[in-house]
Structures are given as structure tokens and as C-alpha cells.
Structure 1
Amino acid sequence: MEKRILFLLIPLFAIVVKAQQTDPLKAEQYILQNEWVDSIMKSMTVEEKIGQLFMIQAYSNKDASHEQFVSEMITKYHVGNLIFMKGTPEKQVQLTNKYQNLTSKVPLLIGFDGEWGLDMRLENTYRFPWNMTLGAIQDNKLLEDLGKRIGEQCKRVGIHVNFAPVVDINTNPNNPIIGNRSFGESKESVADKSIAFTKGMQNAGVLANAKHFPGHGDTATDSHLTLPTINFSERRIDSIELYPFKKQFEAGVASVMTAHLSIPSLEMNSNLPSSLSENVVTNILKGKMGFQGLIFTDGLNMKGAADYATPAEINLAAFKAGNDILLIPQDVPNTIALFKASIEKGDLTEERLDFSVRKILKAKYLVGLNRFTPIAEENLLEDLNTIKDQLLHRRLLKNSVTVVKNNFNTIPLKHLEQKKIAYVQLGDDSGEYFASTLKKYTKVDVVSDPNLGGLLEKLKKYNLVIVGYHKSNKNPWKDYKFSNKNLVWLQEIARNNEVILDVFASPYSLLQISTFKNIDGVVVSYQNSQLSQELSAQAIFGAFDIKGKLPVSINNNFVAGQGIELKSLKRLGYTIPEEVGMSSKKLESIDRYIDTILTEKMAPGGQVIVARHGKVVYNKSFGYQTDNKRRKIKDSDIYDLASLTKILATLPVVMKLEENKKLSLFSDLDDLLPSYKESNKEGLNLKQILSHYAQLKSWIPFYIQTLDSVTGKVSKELYRRNKSNNFSIRVAKDLYLKSTYKDSIKTYIIDSDLRESEGYKYSDLGYYILKDIIERKYEMPLDKVVDDEFYRSLGLDRTSYLPLKKFNWTEVVPTEEDDYFRNQLLRGYVHDMGAAMQGGVGGHAGLFANANDVAKIMQMYLQNGYYGGVQYLKPETIEKFNKRYYSHVRNRRGLGFDKPQINPREKPTCGCVSDNSFGHSGFTGTYTWADPDSGIVFVFLSNRVYPTMKNRKLVKSNVRTKIQSAIQEAIIK
């Protein structure tokens, strides 16, 4: 018998050499490797050699009796390999060090099943996307990066072989066990992606494992529960299922895992699992395909193998078939006895045993076990959950988002001014992060109803419905199918509305949809994680390029490889600082400034946004609306922007008019407004006004002239509590100014004296004048002009004059307890008295917004007038207005924009931003700044004037510019 086996082995080796020239287990210093292997082999008993064949389960979440069992397996039965299962990384490292210390001759080879990272088994570790998600990615370098990172994490906890990647080609949509674990249905794509993953992981020093040989992708049953059957011809299996394995072997994968399958065309005994078949493992895998690496069985506790015979007989059969390591063998003691008996009988030779043991030892040398050192326990969780992981995860998901249908080029969404959007959630999992991110871009209403009829009625007022289909992201085996109810609802919604369907589940869920005729856009986002939801929403609005391709076919509707590539519209994205070259840790210093603001009562609360290169990297709402601490500040809350109105409302319209040659910066004021003819201001031009170089007074306290000189209260002649034709200017709650008083304000400005001296003097009066010019040119109010020209198209649904007409009062942050003019809490009514006396719409004040919307306008400026697919202003217009024209007289201002200081005594900025930067500050405690050189947009909103404007702590502390300095310092040089 022994001679017959040797006779069979000799031609087998010849085939191996011919079929595969390289040995994936061969170390660079192979002479030293062979010397080490030889020395170990000489010292080993038969029992110790047999022990090297076993890889038993070890848990890090079980009790002492389990630890004692594993320890006994190592010391008494010489078990040479462990596969760690569930638990925590801290405990696993402790146990690995403990178990390694028990071995006297050869350290343990530690295996792990971490297809999408350590999270597959270990708590508090990082979870990367399923393979099906990765299958949509076109840049395979990303999969190499993923393999490397997972390899680094494995190595950090002492794992030497990770049972990944899955190279099964999922050609059966009903496959219950592979599915999302496969890269897809294309043999070329599966091969290419699995090779990239393997290359990365093995470059990190961890052995990869191609599984499940010869291919588990076209099965309809789970080998954990039964023995699946593959009824394909040998020719078909060779051309399809074996293809990625061949490519993997050529590329140097270190190990392979044999599957428990019934394959009649490859093994005559249909009851014999392929993992126990000599023809499959020895003749095909080793012989025909020439694989020289380690061969693992799939778990021998699985029903696909375990039902075949007794555990010891199964283990022996698996080894005889040609496997090297028996994964999760049952009944190790009896198996050892059976192996020894087989050797004594001559059914199994010691040479065959040595053949596999030498391979195992070579693998151990390859991963450094010839010089094992204990694994460091310090900073373990920090090392396993890094910014690097977050960045990689984002890159993977961004590159996977797939658009397979896009009627009318709906995606990414353009012309937001024409859209009235609803979001409807289907599926049985949450879509809250998807909905909340959609709302960052424009007004999106979450619409629901327990009845279909009620839902359709509610949706009648919308011209676009985004349907999110959300299923559990707990693991890749979770049910992904639509309920019958969801299918009916989807079709009815699509029959009545323009619909974008976004699927946060396996793409196979689309198989249930009978027709896509009425569904205008189809997005596949693959998984329902928080990050997947957030990024998919960003993709729909054009924050980044869409590149994904479908990894599987959906009947005849969409074929594998289909995906519509779409370019970014350069809308703001939302990410982590490191993606744009900033430090998360350094940005945390902003939190300390925020704590100071709250502790020292500089303001009750506020909002801070930091963006770089079009990506928001810090977004925090803090504190409360008022000192009574009843309402916490939300991202959606809106603030009185005060003088930010100048550059966010008046200025863009002036720029547009100048660009369209509707006015000139050099036109005399009396040419633009005839009422200024023969006044002392008739020769002023817009360049002077916008630069605060027109010798205008800084402001006129119009309101004081409307107060009763005796009581100090508002004049009864000029104000009423109820609105009428004669008293129509609403200055606050239940307070209306005489309708003709707007003309009086204009007269006061026309008749006001100019300053005697030339030079820079900040003035609000110029913006009263600019408002009149705009309204004269457009023949409509300023608030409607700026809304039509900019806000609705930009998606600024949290930006408005007269906010109480649009928002609930609870969403508007109060400014001041006014005890000098309106004598009430100002909430939703502009703080600036002059703007209030114009009915709340001023050229210099009156605008309300949240920080997110302010950032959009500033980003539009930073992108040379482009945002969301629209060129609002020409680059040369932005350049013209972002320029100092009077710097020779130490005037730092541009045209409308504030600029960095020239005079050291002035502190409009931190002094650390570029001279190309621009922005503005507001009296109520607001500030925004953009820097083209660094790509930074900074927004700070607060109500520092609460409870009264006497609270100047925020201003005196320069905390806003200190935060600006911290932002600059966070840029990674």
C-alpha cells in the first residue's frame, strides 16, 4: 500500500512543478526556512506531527473550562493551530499569548474568519463592506488597500491566516450562504478583485485563503446545514467555478479552503463531500491545477461534512483526500488514535504525514513563527479602530454607489428650485441617516402613512419622491427581500410620481420588482449602514462622482457590469477631516473654545461648520437657544445673521447685476437712483460704497426718532399694535410702523451729511442704497430677488428673510430681550433696528439661516461662482469683487467682502489666513470666512446679544478668530 501511494505521489509532484512554477509558501530566505523546518521535523514524534494537522476552535468569550480544554488540546494532544471565533480583541490577544506559551517546539498558527474584517467575529473592531458591495468598485487598487488593512489588523491581534477572500462566483441569486459574501457573478471580476485583496493582505504578512474550492457560488442550500449539490459538467466547472482559483494560484495565494459539496461530475460518490474527495483535492487541486500552498478543509463540524461518518473517520478521509489542515475537527483524541492505527496498518504513510507537516511548518516560518514574540496588549483598540480605517471605508463606499437607471438625467439632482421632494421609507430597517443627509441639501419632507391611499394623497404635492429601501445591515445573510406590501406600494408611488429608488440591501432584491417602467431612477447602495446612507444621499445630490457598476445581473433589466457614471456637481460633501488633509485631533480644540463660550456665558449656544475642499469636516451645534436651557441648539435651527446679510444677500445680486452689465461699479449714484440727484451723494459710485470708502456715516439710529421723548416708548403716532393699510411695516410681534416711514428713512439717508475726512469707515448706509438699486432694477423686493436668483436653486431651505413666514418659531433662535425699542423678546424678527423698520428686509441685515446654508453660499464663492451644476457668477466676477481697491490708504475691504487686516490693530481674522481670503462678521455674534488658498470655509453662528447686546464677551475675547486659528493649525502640512 505504501509503495502504491509513493508511486502516485511521484507523477503528482511532476505535474505540480509543471503547472505551477512558484511555491506560495517559499520564503525569501528559503534556505534558512528549510533549515528551520528540517530541524523541527527531526525533533517531532508522530503524535506531534499529527497534532500539527488540527486547527481547533478557540473562543475569547467563554469561561475557564473552555480555556482549560484548549490548553489541554495543545499540551496533551499537540494541536498545532487555532481558529479564534467570537469574543473581544483584548481577550483574544491575552489568550493567544497564553496558548503560545504552552507550546514547547512549534508556535501555533492562528487562523480567523474575517472576510470583512475582524468585526466578523470580534466585538469593538472595524467592519468593512461585504464583498458584494466591493464588487461594484471599479478601482481594484482599493481592494488591495482593503486587503492590506485587514491584514494589518489581523497581524495586530496575532492572526496568521485569514480565511478570505471568498472567490465563489455567485451565479445563483438564491444562494443562502454566499450571496453578499461574493464579489459577484463575473468570473473575471471575482478573480481580479480577490487577487487584489489577496495581494494586499499577504503584503501585510498575513496568509490569504481562497475559498470555497471548487466553487460554492451556484448552490441553493447551506453547507452548514446540509450537503449542497452542484449538477454541472466538469467542463462547465472548469471554465466558470475554477477560473478565479486558477488566477489566484498564478498570483500566489498562500492557501485554499475546500468546500463541502456534492459534485457528481467530479466525484462519483455523490454522498462524498468534495472536501473528502481525493479526485477533487489531490487530482484536480494539487495535480491538474498544481497548487502547492496550504489546503484547509472547511469547518468539519458543518453538516455538509459531519453527517458523512464518525468525526475521526471524516478527519482521516479529509487528510487522505489531500487536505493539509483539518479545520474545526471533532473528537481530536480518537482522530489521533485512528491516524496512528492507519499508519501502523500502512493505510497512511508517515511520508504523507510529513508532506503536509512540512508545508505547515513552512507557512509558520513564512509568518514569522520561527521567532515568535508575545503580542502587545497596549493601545490595542486604538490600533484596530483608526482614522485610516474610516478613510478607507469611505473610499470603498463612495466608489461602490451604483446608478443603473437614470431617466431624464435626474441623478444627480439639479434645478432644486423646481423640485418639491418627499422621502418615503420602505423596508423594515431605519433610514434616518439617509433622510437627515438628504435634508442637508434642500427641503426634503419625510412622508409616511399607515395606508397606501393616505400616502398617495400626501404625495400629490411633490414632484419627486425618493424611496429608500432599507434592510438590516447586521450581517450579509440577513433577509433582503421586499414584502408584497412594499412591492405594491413602490409601484403605486411610481405610477403617480417621479421616483428615485435607492436600495440599501443586496442588489438581488431588485429581482422581485416586476417592472421598472415607472421608476425613473434606480440607485444601489448595497448596505444599510449609517455611512452608506449618508454617502448615498450625498451622491444623489452630486457631492462626488458616481462610478459603481452592478456586480450581478437583475434578470434582463440590468446586467452585471452595468452602471451609469455621473460627474459631481460640486455640492458640499460631509466627511472626516483627514480626507481633506486635516487633523481630527487638532480640530477637537474647537470644542474647548465652545466650552469656554458656554462656561463664560459669551452666548447661550451656537453652530460651527468647517469645510475644506468642498467637504464639511466639522459640524457642531452646541448649547441652548437661551439661558433657560429649554431647547438645545439643532443643526437645523436658524440664527439672525446680522451683517452677514451684506455678503450673503445683497452682494451676490449686485455681482450678478454688474456681471450682466445692468449696472457699473463706476456709475454715479444719481444715475442709478434719481432721488440722489443734487444730493451730496450724487457723485458716489458703487466701488466706493462697497469698499466703505464713500464717506458715508456708519449708521443712523432711525428708531430713536420714533420714540416718545417723554416715555421712551414707541410713538403712538407712528406705531400700532394691529396691522392696517396705514400701519403695515411689521417691526416685531404686534408692532407695526407707519407705512410711509420707509420713505422717511430714504430721505434721512439722502439728507445725511458725509464725513469730512476721506478714508475707510464701515457703514450700513451703503446697503440701504444698494437695496434700493436692486429693487429698482428687478422691480421686486430684495428678499424675492435673492430667493429667485440664488437661494432656491442653491437648496438654501434654511435661509430666509422674515423667517416666521416659513419656519416654526421654535426653529428660530431668539436674539435679544429688547428693552429700548420694541420691548419684547426678539425671535424671528431682525435684531437690527433699521432693517426692522424696513419690514425685516434690509440690504445690510435681516437674513436668517443655519450654518450649513451659509457654508453653501461661501463654497459657491470659493468655487468661483459654481455650485450644484450651476455657474451662478463668473470666476472673473468673483475675482473682481474679492479685491482691495483702496489698500493704498490702508483700507482692507474688498467690494462688499471683508478682507484680512492691513492695520495690525484691526482683527477681522486670526492673521493666519491668506490675503486672498474673504468673509464678514455680524453684530449678533456671527462670522464666516473663506480662503481660496487653503480651501477652508468657516462659519460661526451665535446669539451673543442674548440676553442683551451689552454682552460683549464674545467680541472682546476674539474667540471666533481664535477658532479660525485652530482651524488653520489643523491643516496637515
Structure 2
Amino acid sequence: MRYRKAVVLFLVLALAVTWFATPAGAVKEEKAKKINVNKILKDMTLEEKVGQMMMVGFYGSEPTEEIRRLLTDAHAGNVILFSYSDNVQTPQQTARLTNGLQEIAMDTRLKLPLLISTDQEGGVVARMTMGATELPGNMALGAGRDPAGSREAAKLTAEELRAVGINMNLAPVLDVNVNPDNPVIGVRSYGEDPGLVADLGAEAIRGYQNNGVIATAKHFPGHGDTDVDSHLGLPVIDKSRGELEKVELVPFQRAVDEGIDAIMTAHIHVPALDDTPDLPATLSKPILTGLLRKEMGYEGLIITDAMTMAGVADYFGGVPQAALKAVDAGADLILLTPAMTADEQIEVADTITEAVRSGEISEQRINQSVRRILRVKAKYGLFRERQVDVDRVPERVGTPEHLEKARELANRSITLVKNDHHLLPLKMDEEKKLGIISQFSLRDRVEKYHANTEEMHVRPVNPSDAVIEEAVEMAKGQDILLVGTYSASLYPQQSKLVRALEELDKPMVVVAFRNPYDIKDFPGAEAYVTAYGFRSVSLEAAVDTLFGTHPPAGKLPVTIPGLYDYGHGLTYGE
């Protein structure tokens, strides 16, 4: 009897060891084996196959007739959620919405689960903010030089996304921001060093994918050296192939080697990779199939950036024809947005379907993409785990533990760039007046340190001359000035405001709440701090650092041309 009990105990322990020693990826792969992807594919109509390649958008905080049409009539297999379209309001509302979307998909003939995606990059780009954990963005993590922190940020993001039914994150951004005039990437990048971007990006990929969320590296082959916003036009990167391999392609090759499950294309023209005039990478077969698939060895999903963006929609006959060209180039998922009506999105699917029927694109090419999509859905257990527990969302989203981790990451990111006359940390007598002039309100956070405070909240990003005059008049009555900027290097009137305040010759601290390059337009600033973001967690960390609760610990992840090198960063007393 004792022997039999000992054997049973041994077997139980052995099974437990095997279970805990099995990597998360292996568990997912085991789940994937039980779904016969080829059998599903064989049973699909052409319309259902093309529908699986559509990622569609809609307006509404709950399932609408439009999204129902897209999922049932057009067989769309994937949905993207935005906050501007009211899809994402609160965590529990989002959970109810995703449950409803999956229920609609369950009522279709094949009952295939949906990929439900959003852009939860952290920092300035985050769709789920109310009630969720606001995290510092990539450049803040780059300033903290903390790979483990990057993984932890992705892990808690994945936990919160899965809690509300979002199984795909369009992150991390792996663009290397080497251009200070970049209007669309900036702080969304980890920095200007390809190695740093690759290291922190690899950790983020692990953080997402080991916790049940498909990671999406973007924007391939690299959007960091542009001075045009691809939402508004077609940027051109005029570099040699060798230069691209040393900078832009480094983080993406690392992502491929790490097993990234999705890569998003960029609507940028790169002549060294494909010299077809005005051809965005999204529509380039040499870039998507030749470079990414064959040369770099990538086998996962290729998803386009939003096909409604001007960088692609204004070329090659509009969205339906551009989408057809993207599929031919090698894209698996066509990303559409609520900017298109349901009818317009259905037209995209119909255009691709007709191209297959006419022989313009082979059905084998479509099968390649659908097989990849189904395999990813199986790998992440989506056939089994379609619904989330709405009642448990408050226990899993915006938790005290997550909020504390976000604060720790933000505190480590604040970078002291300049501190003439040791102006910082601020130590002010009670009677001294502190004037705050900022793009973002700081007064509530500052008053816990200094009550004698007056604030002027400056809007818009390019303030008028009249607003500048009003700010100067307010500042004349203050003893010390605290000025907050928002990518002032891209908005001339902000820089004009700071220079006008400098003429008052008062002690002044400038805090950059987005891109760190602002000081190049007012290099005489007495003290300059970069926070890399305007979310509450970054505002709080910046104010706490200004008053000495936390010493500044960040190092610049970019060069500020002509002034400060990559890696520069002071602490108090230096």
C-alpha cells in the first residue's frame, strides 16, 4: 500500500513538473494541433476565405447592424477597435462588446473566432485608458534602459487586453527614430539606437505573446527616418540597402528571430528596396514577399497599416484596388477602419474575390494567408476561449499592482537634460509664486508641494500671438516659471512662447511632455526635463521628480542635434 501511494505521489509530482516546465508557447502549440486548419480551409467558400483576410472597423460601443453585416454577410474574420469610434470606453463596456462580437461570429456557418485588435502601445497611443492602467510609452522605457521593464509593461498590458476580450495588440513599434523632425513616430519609438530598439522590442514581444496576446511589430520596413506623416502623404526613405540593414531592419529581424506572430507594413516608399515610383511598402511584393518572407525568413501574419491612410489610399485607384495590390504583394490581413462604411468595406472584399475568380490572383495565394490566420487563432486558443467574464474585469484591469508598476517605470524614465545653477529640485519658500504655463494641467499635482501656484493651460498646440501675450503677462507676476511643452520643435508658436518667457529673465524650468527635441529651439533654457508622454502616470512622475521625491534616472534614448548626445542624463548634484 505504501509503495502504491509512493508511486501515485511520484506520478503526480512528475506530471506537475512536466506541466510547469512546459513553455507557454508549447502549450499553445499543443492547443493548435487539435484544430484541423486544413480541414477548415477545405470547407470554406472563396467569400469566406477572403473575409478571413479582412480586419474591419465600425462606430459603436455595442454591436451594431453595420458590424453584424460585415461579420455575417461579408464573412469578415477580424475586427479592430478604436476609442474615437466609441468602441473602447470603459473596460467592462469593452468586454461586453467583444463578447457580443464573438457571439455574432459563433452564429456564422463556420463559427470561426475573431481576431480582435487595438493599438495599445502605451504612452501617447493607447485606446483603453479610462479605468485601465496608463503606461509610459516606448521612448520612456528606452530612457529607463530597462529590458525587464519593457517585458513587464507588455505583460500587464496583455493581461488587461485579454481580460476585456482583445487578443491582438498592434504593438510594439519597432521603428528606429533617427529623425528629430518625424511627425508621427517620435516617442512611440524606443529610441535612435537599433540595438536598444531590438532589445526592448524583443522583451515586449515576449511580454505580449507569453501572456496570450498576439504581438504586432510595426511599421515594416521602418518608419523612423521620415519627415512626412503617412496618414497625410507618402513618406520617402532615400537610403541605401546597406544603411537600411544597419538601422531600420535590425529590430524587425530580431522580432522575426524571436517568433513574432504579426508584422504591420508601413505606407512608405523605399526606393532601395523597390524603385517602382510612388509605391508604398504595403503594396510591394519585393518588400513583403521578397525581403520579409524569403530573405528574413518570416512565416507569421503580415497585416497592412490602415488602408484609409493617405500614404496608400491616394495611390493606385483607391482603397479596393490598393488592397488587391497589397494581397498580391503578400499581405495576409487588410486593415480597414470606421472611416469606411460597411458597404465600402464590403467592396474591398468583393474586389479581391472577383480578382480571384478572374484569375488575377490565384486561390492558392489566398489559401496561404487564410491558413496562417487560422493557425494563429488556434495557437492562441481562440476556438476555445471566446468569451470573457465581464464581472471579473475590475479584478484584472487597472489593479493596484499594475498601477504601481506603471509608476515605477515612469519614475525611471524622467530625464534631467539641463540644470543650470542647480535650479532643480525645486525648493521654494511659501511666499514665492510659482507660475505654470503648460499644454497639460499640472496644478493639482504641484500644489501638494507648493500651494502658492497660478496656472495657465495653453491650447492649442500652436498658440496664437494673443495667447502668447496673455501668458507673458501672467508670468510677469511670478517668481519661478514651470513651462510644459508638447513637441514644440514641430509647432513654431510653442517655441515662440518659450522664447518670449525667457526674455522675462526669471528662473524657468521647461518640461517636454512628448518629443525630447524641443530644447533645440530654445537652448538657453535654464533647466530642461523630458517626460516622453502626457498620460497621468508621466505627468505625476515628472512633477515628483521636479520637487525631488525621485531623483532623475533617465538617459536620453536619442540625440538632440547640436546639444546633447545619446545617453546624456544628469542627476541632482551634478
Quote the residue 1:289 is aligned against.
296
| C-alpha distance after superposition, 1:248-300 (max 9, x if no partner) | 22222211000111222222222221100001111111111111111100011
Code of the aligned partner of 1:513: F
2-structure distance, mates of 1:489, 1:537: 20
Residue 450 of structure 1 and its aligned partner are, at CA, apart by 5.7
Q: CA separation in 2, counterparts of 1:446 and 1:69?
A: 49
Residue number in structure 1 paired with 2:164: 157
Secondary structure, in 3 states, of the residue corresponding to 1:403? strand
1:482 pairs, out of 494, 501, 505, with 494
* Structure 1 pair 566–222 and aligned structure 2 pair: CA distance change class (3 A): same
1:512-565 deviation line (CA, Å, top 9, x unaligned): 11435xx2x332233445544443343244333431111222222112221124
CA–CA distance in 1 between the matches of 2:388 and 2:234? Answer: 39
Name the counterpart of 2:41.
Answer: 41
User: How large is the Cα RMSD of the aligned pairs?
Assistant: 3.3
Tell me which residue corresponds to 2:410: 397
1:211, 1:256 within 8 Å by CA — same for their partners in 2? yes
Question: Residues 111 and 528 from structure 1, CA distance in 2 versus in 1: closer, same or farther, beyond 3 angstroms?
Answer: closer
Maintained 8 Å contact 1:173/1:508: yes
Are 1:470 and 2:484 an aligned pair? yes
Cα distance in structure 2, aligned partners of 1:349 and 1:39: 20
Using the size of structure 1 for normalisation, the TM-score is 0.50
CA displacement 1:833-868 (0-9 Å, x = unmatched): xxxxxxxxxxxxxxxxxxxxxxxxxxxxxxxxxxxx
The alpha carbon displacement at 1:382 in A equals 5.0
- 2:522 paired residue number: 513
Question: 1:346 deviation in Å?
Answer: 3.3
Give, in angstroms, the shift of residue 84 of structure 1. Answer: 1.6
1:350 to 359, 363, 371: 363
Choose from 69, 81, 95 the match for 1:72. Answer: 69
Distance 2:82 2:455 in 1: 43
Deviations 1:110-157 (A, max 9, x none): 111221289525654332223232321122211211101110111011
| Partner Cα distance (1:471, 1:100) in 2 | 43
CA contact (8 A) 2:489 2:520 kept: no
Query: Who is 1:435 aligned against?
Result: 446
Equivalent residue, structure 2, for 1:805? none
Which residue number in structure 2 is paired with residue 377 of structure 1? Answer: 390
SS in 1 for 2:80: strand
Paired amino acid for 1:359: R
SS class of match (2:207): helix
CA drift of 1:349 comes to: 2.0
Q: 1:156 to 1:564 in 2, by over 3 A?
A: same
Matched, 1:225 2:224: no
Rate the CA distance shift 1:446–1:45 in 2: closer, same or farther, 3 A.
closer
For 1:313 and 1:346, the matched residues in 2 are separated by 15
- Tell me, yes or no, if the aligned pair for 1:112 and 1:163 is still in contact at 8 Å: yes
Deviations, residues 375-411 of structure 1 (Å, cap 9, x unaligned) = 2221434532221232022111110111122346554
Whole-Å separation in 1 of the counterparts to 2:398 and 2:489: 25
Alignment of 1:148-227 (within 5 A): 148-227=155-234
Residue aligned with 1:29, SS: helix
Q: 1:468 to 1:411 in 2, by over 3 A?
A: closer
Structure 2 residue corresponding to 1:125, chosen from 127, 132, 140? 132
Larger helix percent: 2
Q: Percent identity?
A: 31
Q: Which runs of 5+ in 2 are unaligned?
A: 1-23, 457-468
Report how far residue 481 of structure 1 moved.
6.4
- Whole-angstrom CA distance in 2 between matches of 1:224 and 1:454: 38
Q: Which residue of 2 aligns with 1:316?
A: 324
Check 1:32–1:184 CA distance in 2 against 1; reply closer, same or farther (3 A cut): closer
Aligned counterparts of 2:572 and 2:290: Cα–Cα separation in 1: 48
Q: Which letter does structure 1 place at the counterpart of 2:48? A: E
> Aligned in 2, Cα 1:122/1:554: closer, same or farther, shift over 3 Å?
closer
Is residue 325 from structure 1 mapped to residue 338 from structure 2 by the alignment? no
CA distance in 2, matches of 1:36, 1:259: 33
**In the aligned structure 2, how far is the partner of 1:392 from the partner of 1:216?**
29
- CA shift digits 1:40-80 (9 cap, x unpaired): 12322222111111111134337x7xx11211222222111
Structure 2 SS opposite 1:209: strand
CA distance in 1 between partners of 2:512 and 2:321 (Å): 47
Unaligned segments of structure 1, at least 5 residues: 1-23, 460-464, 569-973
Counterpart of 1:970 in structure 2 is none
Question: Matches of 1:259 and 1:240 in 2, distance apart?
Answer: 16
Matched, 1:552 2:558: yes
Separation of aligned partners in 2, 1:502 and 1:69? 45
8 A contact 1:54–1:325 mirrored in 2? yes
What is the rounded CA distance, in whole Å, between the counterparts of 1:338 and 1:121 in structure 2? 33
Shift of 1:32: 5.0
Per the alignment, in what secondary structure is the counterpart of residue 133 of structure 2?
coil
Cα–Cα, structure 1 residues 213 and 170, in superposed 2: closer, same or farther, change >3 Å? same
Matches within 5 A, 1:475-874: 482-493=494-505, 497=507, 499-516=508-525, 519=526, 521-566=527-572
Measure, in 1, the Cα distance between the counterparts of 2:529 and 2:329: 46
Look up the match of 1:54.
Answer: 54
- The separation in 1 between residues aligned to 2:401 and 2:323, in whole angstroms, is 42
Contact 1:404 1:564 in 2 (8 A): yes
Question: Is the contact made by 1:138 and 1:547 (CA closer than 8 Å) also made in structure 2?
Answer: no
SS of the residue aligned with 1:147? helix
Amino acid at match of 2:435: V
Cα 1:218–1:525 shift into 2, 3 Å: same
Q: Match of 2:438, as an amino acid?
A: G
Distance 1:555 1:423, change over 3 A: farther
Would you say the 8 A contact 2:37–2:371 is kept in 1?
yes
Describe the superposition over 1:145-202 as per-residue Cα deviations: whole angstroms up to 9, x where unpaired: 1101110111011111100111111222222221222222222222222222221111
Q: 1:552 and 1:102 mapped to 2: Cα distance?
A: 46
- Give the structure 1 partner of residue 460 of structure 2: none
TM-fit CA distance, 1:29: 3.5
Which secondary structure state, in structure 2, belongs to the residue aligned with residue 211 of structure 1?
A: strand
Q: Give the match's secondary structure for 1:369.
A: coil
**Alpha-carbon distance in structure 1 between the residues aligned to 2:275 and 2:79:** 33
One-letter code aligned to 2:239: F
Distance in 2, Cα, partners of 1:185 & 1:269:
28
* RCO higher in structure (CA 8 A, sep ≥6): 2
Cα deviation code 1:5-54 (max 9, x no counterpart): xxxxxxxxxxxxxxxxxxx9986535852752123123222221111111
- Mapped to 1, the partners of 2:303 and 2:113 lie a distance apart of 18
Label 1:37 to 1:457 Cα distance change in 2 as closer, same or farther (>3 A).
Answer: closer
SS at match of 1:115: strand
Superposition deviation, residue 422 in structure 1: 5.0
Alignment match, 1:279: 286
C-alpha separation between the residues in 1 aligned to 2:523 and 2:494? 12
- 535 and 451 in structure 1: CA distance in 2 versus 1, 3 angstrom threshold: closer
Alignment partner of 1:100 out of 97, 102, 105: 102
Aligned residues: 523
Give per-residue Cα distances to partners, 1:850-909, cap 9 Å, x unaligned. xxxxxxxxxxxxxxxxxxxxxxxxxxxxxxxxxxxxxxxxxxxxxxxxxxxxxxxxxxxx
User: Is the 2:32–2:379 Cα contact (8 Å) retained in structure 1?
Assistant: no
| Equivalent residue number for residue 4 of structure 2 | none
Task: Name the CA shift for 1:364/1:538 in 2 (closer, same or farther; >3 Å).
Answer: same
Q: In structure 2, do the counterparts of structure 1 residues 28 and 56 end up closer, same or farther at CA, with 3 Å as the change threshold?
A: closer
